[in-house]
Structure 1
Amino acid sequence: MQQPFVELLQANARHADEFQSKFDDVQDSQRPEVVTVCCSDSRVLQDRMWENDEPGRIFTCGNIGNRVVQQTESGTVVSGDVLYPIEHTGTNVAVVVGHTGCGAVTATYDALTDGVSELAGIEHCLDLLKPQLEPGLELLPDDVDRAGSINRLVEYNVDRQVEFLRESDDVPDDVEVVGVVYDFQDVYSGRRGEVHVINVDGETDVETLRDDNPEVDSRIERLWEY
């Protein structure tokens, strides 16, 4: 075995020592409070960003581009990864987690603007993002550089994923859908590793969101309102 995996096993042994009793209440079932849909970028610490060390609390999904959509024979539907906890475990909060410098958004941007192609498996994922992102290209400000365009499209993608969940008949109306961006590039005004709320149930106006959510008003921030 290569050393990186050996080190993972060693870390897992320490994890098992610490978590022996933490699985007592979730041996036979789970009732996660939240389902998160994160980008599967190695820099996005999907549980660690919430300081989560409680098994059964967060149902975590990951894919490139933090997508909630899945293509089936009957068309585009909410991904089963996201829908399962909502349908079967009583989860009533869904959080779409984008992140600064997203590679999937970058690759989709390049595919749409320059016709750059990828390997078939990656291309399939990008094809699910392209319809979500393409309308946003025309809305980009003229005075932002490539990095600024990518990070604005990160927000745009989160908005579209939130919108898809809100409009789906498969997601009950009482499920709250929140869109956030995880920043490790000093793009937003907070510290590296902070999550910034950009969308709650389709509402994207920063001042409205701050008025409606005063307990977290300092964490509500957007790069653009198109």
Structure 2
Amino acid sequence: MNRTVVEMLRRNDAHADSYTTRFGDVQDGQQPEAVTVCCSDSRVLQDRMWGNDEPGHLFTVGNIGNRVVQRADGETVVSGDVLYPLANTGTRTAVVVGHTGCGAVTATYDALTDGIDVPPGIDHCLGLLGPHLEPGIEALPDGLDRAAAVNHLVEYNVDRQVAFLLGRDHVPDDADIVGAVYDFQDVYGGRRGEVHVINLNGERDPEALREAHPDVGSRIRRQWVY
């Protein structure tokens, strides 16, 4: 077996040793407190960013572009991956987490501005992001370099995913929908690995959010208020 898998199994030994007695309360069911939707990126450690090592605490979803949307019967609907805990396990918090330097946002930006050739499966995913990002590209401030444009669009994409969840059928009306960005590129001026809240139930104004939530005011930041 190749060395990568051997090393993965070795690390799993340590995991299994420490978790042997930790599944008793959730072996037959789950009631996670939140569903988190993060980008599938090796640099984005979805559970560890929240300090989570508790089975049953978070329902984690990953895909390129931290999407909450999928296509079904010709319509754009809430992804079943995201909807499952909201509709079935009593979860009432959804957190959409983008990240700086997102490759999916970069590829969608390139596809919409210059056109790119990608495999069909990736093209399908970019096609789901495209309609949400296109208005953002048109609204970008003047004078941004490519990296800055992408990181502005990371926020815009999170906003659009949050907006899609709000008020949708089967998404509980009392669910809190949070938008955030994970920063490992020193974009937000905090520590690498910090999560910054940029949207709560559609409210995007940082000042309004800080006033309403002073206990986490230092973690509410965004680059682009539009």
Give the TM-score range, shorter chain: over 0.9
Percent identical: 68
Could you tell me how far apart the structure 1 residues matched to 2:100 and 2:132 are? 17
- Runs of 4+ with deviation above 3 angstroms: none
In the comparison of the two structures, how many residue pairs are matched?
226
Contact 2:167 2:173 in 1 (8 A): no
SS of equivalent residue, structure 2 residue 139: coil
User: Match of 2:192?
Assistant: 192
Q: CA deviation at 1:74?
A: 4.6
1:61-103 per-position Cα deviation (integer Å, ceiling 9, x unaligned): 0000000001011501000000000111000000000000000
Q: CA deviation at 1:4?
A: 1.0
Could you tell me how far apart the structure 1 residues matched to 2:197 and 2:189 are? 12
User: Match of 1:87?
Assistant: 87
Could you tell me how far apart the structure 2 residues matched to 1:160 and 1:170 are? 18
1:136 equivalenced with 2:118 (yes/no):
no
After TM superposition, the structure 1 stretch with the greater mean CA deviation from structure 2, 67-76 or 93-102, is: 67-76
1:151 equivalenced with 2:134 (yes/no):
no
User: Match of 1:68?
Assistant: 68
Could you tell me how far apart the structure 2 residues matched to 1:120 and 1:184 are? 29
Give 1:175's aligned amino acid: A
User: Match of 1:124?
Assistant: 124
Residues 1-226 of structure 1: pairs in structure 2 closer than 5 A = 1-226=1-226
Q: CA deviation at 1:189?
A: 1.5
Normalization by structure 1: what TM-score? Answer: 0.99
Contact 2:181 2:198 in 1 (8 A): yes
Which consecutive unaligned segments of at least 5 residues does structure 1 have?
none
Which consecutive unaligned segments of at least 5 residues does structure 2 have?
none
Aligned-residue RMSD, C-alpha:
0.6
Change beyond 3 A, Cα 1:199–1:85: same
Could you tell me how far apart the structure 2 residues matched to 1:169 and 1:199 are? 21
SS of equivalent residue, structure 1 residue 81: helix
1:186-208 per-position Cα deviation (integer Å, ceiling 9, x unaligned): 00011000000000000000000
Could you tell me how far apart the structure 1 residues matched to 2:128 and 2:167 are? 17
Could you tell me how far apart the structure 2 residues matched to 1:22 and 1:61 are? 22
Q: CA deviation at 1:11?
A: 0.3
Q: CA deviation at 1:144?
A: 1.2
SS of equivalent residue, structure 1 residue 101: coil
Could you tell me how far apart the structure 2 residues matched to 1:147 and 1:89 are? 39
Normalization by structure 2: what TM-score? Answer: 0.99
Give 1:176's aligned amino acid: D
Could you tell me how far apart the structure 1 residues matched to 2:79 and 2:176 are? 17
SS of equivalent residue, structure 1 residue 94: strand
Q: CA deviation at 1:173?
A: 1.1
SS of equivalent residue, structure 2 residue 165: helix
